[in-house]
Structure 1
């Protein structure tokens, strides 16, 4: 009997779709494959049933960890898997708990639990790349509605929209007669956007966020203001000072804190409806100062600060904090209230949740490209709470 190439199975989206039962063309593909190889039908159907069961019964948290490790190993090999994979008994698959968990996690990510039905529940689609750009003269541009190319030329700076949907600033003149001009980019609920600032720094805006910045940075410092959540990759800039080269610092201002950066990657979550401001450092170093009491702390890579009335510094779960930039929701012992705040911003829906249910904790990973029902089902399958979607409002009950 031929043996199963399990890596190919995990990588074959059409097989996962076959287990889900949709779309029809993938189901037909595997049925045709089995018609040509009827001797394998019993084993394939057995594997299909076990895969379906695993999707419901394996803990998502364990699967998440194992899937990420498996994904890293596969990525390192960087091989294109043979599509003509071989079949074997399920016992060899079941012998590896790691791979079992990985299968269930992959199915979870591919919406196995979220098969569309014909119910009357409203379908709320996920957010997308959209934002409003306000120029120095007060005019506005809806970035999701304009064509690719140059959008504006102001103060010696060209503003362009790329084919990939990003906004890029580039200096087109050495001199400008209005170096104090500034722009603002703002995403609505259900929106996100990426841009490259005039100094080459990059910023990713999450839903319901904004970034205010000059189109020409000063020679001694670079300063921007933000609301909501923004991930930054700051370009290093230097100037000659007292006969030596010195870095030009970059400052990020929020409502209650200021971050001083010399060149680094970090994420700032400063939504007003969150318990506090969370600053997570991935690379480099930043100094975070509270505008409430002047308290100041220095973060190292892998650390994060939480600011309410005072700073609390600790180790960060970096993957969880920046998962949104990779298109995922990652929940690790997160309160239902916190999950629903993220859901509200990304799907542009209202939430009605009793305080006692908002304290429930959940684990899981869901792609931000999934419809809203994906997260609702993730919560409901635990049996801890019921979620009902009425138009654009989620109502949570016992």
Structure 2
């Protein structure tokens, strides 16, 4: 299997250490998608796969020039490990040693200065942070970066003869239809939406994707074959169009698959939300319209969801429950909806939306809160409401381009 990607060991090592640039990370993601599309189907039971993986680890450790640190959660990679074993030990190496990366981190009391700011009302703060705006970075199959912002691009690009409309300030659009050549159907693009931003993508098949802050989507620039596969880290709302593709028996439905963490969502045409941030303990899959089949390593058969249902994945545990769709999709409507969440869970959303680091200046306890706040408000306005409902104090600090939110019990 020949590949047009130029991946060397240094890039793989940086990927393993979490030191890749966004372009390099997108290149490796694209490489994996390209290889995966060319691999034969392989069915391995978990016991056989674990034995094979243990053998690969042993071979690495026999080589003195390889310093490999095993991750304790490597079993979550079992769904892709069979493919990676075929690709080769290099692909296996970078997939198993990927280090968690995030722009915004939550820091404990022990990691910050003991100079706790004097508690004052947040409305008296001289520092404020506006709500998130439209913005993203598009990485083409060549590795070229295109910066998207709320000013609009008023131009278009082409990638493997697939036109990309960049003229909108809030959405990029790929040319629809089935005219893309075979090379274009395997080339991928990646859109990275940083903390403090949101963006939309109209894929080549007509599917609409709304990306929440701190999210990344990797996708083919054109779709051919029986499946349309995309890879998500973060949160996104999908409006998937029904589509057929040529087959030996005429035409067949083209399944749309969203890979998110260890789970895969299979649909034909539907509306649903996926929340799968890499550092979150909980991943959720919420169906608004149509039907989806959710595949996870711990379930022998796909789980079918009906409209109004949500699958909540916590480690190996998977629960399905009825939910209020308006509340669950409040982010898409421009609201924060906190329903029995801890202050740490609330601050996780605040951190992504306002692109600010959170510092806890003491124990927070396990109290849970209910609140509904507009995401269009500035950070100070949101914190004024939270001060009233939580009895906590907040302090916004800024040093050049670095912003911190101190949570004071």
The answer on 1:394 being equivalent to 2:400 is no
Cross-structure match for 1:297: 303
CA RMSD after TM alignment: 2.4
Once the two structures are TM-superposed, the CA of residue 205 in structure 1 deviates from its matched residue by 0.6
| 2:145 counterpart of 1:134 | no
Write out aligned runs for 1:233-312 (5 A).
Answer: 233-239=239-245, 243=249, 246-291=252-297, 296-308=302-314, 309-312=316-319
TM-score, normalising length: structure 1: 0.66
Greater mean deviation of Cα atoms: 201-210 or 292-301: 292-301
Asked if structure 2 preserves the Cα contact closer than 8 Å seen for 1:156 and 1:174, the reply is no
TM-score (norm 2): 0.64
Q: Which runs of 5+ in 1 are unaligned?
A: 1-114
Alignment of 1:1-398 (within 5 A): 119-144=124-149, 147-171=152-176, 174-176=179-181, 178-179=183-184, 180-239=186-245, 243=249, 246-291=252-297, 296-308=302-314, 309-353=316-360, 356-357=363-364, 359-382=366-389, 384-391=391-398, 392-398=403-409
Question: Secondary structure at 2:181's aligned position in 1?
Answer: coil
Change (3 A) 1:175 1:227: closer
1:231–1:343: structure 2 CA closer, same or farther, 3 Å change rule? Answer: same
Q: What is the CA-CA distance between 1:383 and the residue it aligns to?
A: 5.3
Q: Say which one has the larger Rg.
A: 1
- Residue 85 of structure 2 corresponds to none
The answer on whether the counterparts of 2:122 and 2:383 sit within 8 Å (CA) in structure 1 is no
Provide, for residues 283-326 of structure 1, a one-character-per-residue CA deviation record: whole Å limited to 9, x for no partner: 01111111356563111100000112121111122112211112
CA shift, 1:375, in A, is 1.9
CA contact (8 A) 2:271 2:289 kept: yes
Query: Paired residues, what number?
Result: 283
Q: Match of 2:175, SS?
A: strand
Residue pair 1:257, 1:291 contacting (<8 A) in 2 also: yes
Which whole-Å CA distance do the structure 2 matches of 1:356 and 1:319 have between them?
Answer: 33
**Partners of 1:134 and 1:260 in 2: CA distance:** 26
Change (3 A) 1:338 1:151: same
- Closer, same or farther: CA 330–292 of 1 in aligned 2, 3 Å: same
- Deviation at residue 149 of structure 1 after TM alignment: 3.4
Structure 2, gaps ≥5 residues long: 1-120
Query: Could you tell me which residue of structure 1 aligns to residue 117 of structure 2?
Result: none
Q: Deviations over 1:188-230 (max 9, x none)?
A: 1101100100000000111110000001112211000010001
Q: Which residue of 2 aligns with 1:81?
A: none
Are 1:337 and 1:359, in contact at CA under 8 Å, matched by a contact in 2?
no
Deviation track 1:320-341 (CA, whole Å, cap 9, x = no partner) reads 2211112211122222111100
Structure of greater relative contact order (alpha carbons < 8 Å, 6+ residues apart): 2
Query: Within 1, Cα distance between the matches of 2:309 and 2:295?
Result: 15
> Which residue of structure 1 lines up, in the alignment, with residue 110 of structure 2?
none
Residue 240 (structure 1) shift: 5.5
> Larger deviation: 329-338 or 222-231?
329-338
